């Protein structure tokens, strides 16, 4: 197998949060994920979404790209830091490529922009507030995807996604008993997944470019999970009712990594903490939890 850094590029999407101008949250998430998967040498792209400042009388809506006036300066300082990361520093951000998006594009739009810069066959997509909680077999996962073209997307498990791939859930909600893919050495399984999650996942670059981001789809500043993912569920439910579930699922190629160790990915409450809280530890500031979808 090729070296991991020749196979995989890491793409993280970020946007304004109260912790700006600190890069601490990004560093924590990126460090946890690269260390957990053995991806420390992989090329990394961080995309910072654009925004607009709420005018007088307007209510800020950060998820829609409209931020309070007092968020602008800290976010611009944060972006300046990303532009000027010392490539020789020991920070997890050392050597990253930063892409500034001028207008609000949302998670999907930012990801679409970043993928144009990717030169590896696989991409690890990260959200800025979802760290890895424990190690996983990154090299083994890439080897599995290289060896089986059917594996197009593999999500790293959260508590919720694990529950939704349990045989009992699939039997009661989907009336399915799908086959589980086993790693050659038996160290992990890949369970068929019925929803496209934006949470940390490895995907084939060409699958994103040619299938997910196919021409004609209007992302409107949103998330793949909320648009593409919902369309996917509808298609799969219809196919299941007609006995064509496997045929249709193969076009999506979505699976969930499961090594029996529980959730790999957690969630940081990035919008709830500020750095002006004296004596606050990283764990308390971010309130890590694995109970996310």
Q: What is the pLDDT confidence band of residue 271, given thresholds at 50, 70 and 90? A: low
Residue 273 has pLDDT above 80, yes or no: no
Rounded to whole angstroms, how far apart are CA atoms 130 and 157?
Answer: 11
Residue 177 vs residue 109, higher pLDDT: 109
Angle subtended at Cα 285 by Cα 33 and Cα 135, rounded to the nearest 5 degrees: 20
Closest CA to 16 of 104, 84, 94, 85: 104
Work out the pLDDT band at 292, boundaries 50, 70, 90. very low
Task: Dig out the tokens for 140 from the structure.
Answer: 């083994």
> What are the structure tokens assigned to 222, written together?
């949103």
> Does the residue 258 lie in any domain?
yes
The 10s digit of each residue's pLDDT in 6-65 is: 999 999 999 999 999 999 999 999 999 999 999 999 999 999 999 999 999 899 999 899
Please indicate, yes or no, if residue 291 is contained in any of the structural domains: no
Exposure string for 248-272, b = 16+ CB within 10 A, e = fewer = bbeebbbbbbbbeeebbbbbbebee
292, part of any domain: no
Question: In the structure encoding, which two tokens stand for residue 12, read together?
Answer: 């993280």
Range of the structural domain that residue 25 is part of: 4-286
Domain membership of residue 277 (yes or no) is: yes
Contact 96, 44 (CB under 8 A): yes
Residue 86 lies in a domain: yes
Rounded Cα–Cα distance for residues 118 and 240 (Å): 35
pLDDT tens profile 190-244? 999 988 999 999 999 999 999 999 865 666 668 898 888 888 989 998 988 898 9
Instruction: Give the chain's mean pLDDT.
Output: 89
Closest CA to 79 of 57, 49, 107: 49
Report the number of distinct structural domains present in the chain. Answer: 1
Lowest mean pLDDT among 51-65, 66-80, 131-145, 274-288: 274-288
What's the rounded mean pLDDT across residues 83-92? Answer: 79
Whether 44 maps to a domain, the answer reads yes
For residues 240, 241, 244, 248, the Cα torsion angle rounded to the nearest 10 degrees is -50
Indicate whether 235 belongs to any domain: yes
CATH assignment of the domain containing 104: 3.90.550.10
Q: Model's pTM, two decimal places? A: 0.91
| Domain membership flag for residue 293 | no
Rounded distance, CA 268 to CA 285, Å?
Answer: 9
Q: Residue holding tokens 């050392």?
A: 94
- CB proximity list for 96: less than 8 A, separation 6 or greater: 30, 44, 45, 46, 82, 85
If one compares 227 and 111, the residue with the highest pLDDT of the two is 111
Residue with more model confidence, 228 or 128: 128
């Amino acid at each position: 197998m090729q070296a991991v850094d020749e196979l995989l590029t890491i793409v993280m999407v970020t946007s304004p949060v109260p912790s700006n101008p600190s890069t601490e949250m990004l560093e924590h998430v990126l460090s946890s994920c690269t260390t957990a998967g053995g991806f420390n040498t992989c090329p990394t792209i961080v995309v910072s979404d654009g925004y607009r400042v709420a005018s007088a009388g307007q209510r800020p809506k950060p998820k829609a790209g409209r931020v309070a006036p007092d968020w602008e300066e800290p976010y611009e300082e944060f972006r300046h830091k990303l532009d000027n990361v010392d490539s020789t520093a020991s920070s997890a951000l050392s050597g990253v490529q930063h892409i500034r998006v001028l207008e609000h594009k949302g998670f999907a739009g930012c990801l679409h922009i970043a993928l144009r810069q990717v030169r590896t066959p696989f991409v690890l997509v990260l959200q800025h507030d979802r760290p890895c909680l424990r190690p996983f077999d990154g090299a083994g996962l890439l080897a599995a995807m290289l060896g089986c073209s059917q594996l197009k997307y593999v999500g790293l498990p959260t508590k919720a996604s694990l529950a939704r791939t349990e045989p009992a859930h699939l039997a009661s909600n989907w009336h399915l008993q799908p086959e589980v893919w086993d790693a050659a050495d038996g160290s992990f399984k890949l369970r068929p997944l019925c929803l496209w999650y934006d949470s940390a996942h490895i995907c084939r670059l060409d699958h994103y470019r040619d299938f997910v981001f196919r021409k004609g789809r209007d992302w409107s500043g949103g998330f793949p999970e909320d648009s593409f993912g919902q369309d996917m569920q509808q298609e799969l439910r219809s196919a299941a009712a007609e006995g064509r579930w496997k045929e249709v699922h193969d076009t999506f190629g979505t699976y969930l990594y499961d090594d029996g160790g529980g959730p790999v990915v957690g969630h940081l409450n990035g919008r709830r903490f500020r750095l002006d809280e004296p004596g606050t530890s990283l764990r308390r500031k971010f309130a890590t939890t694995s109970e996310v979808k």
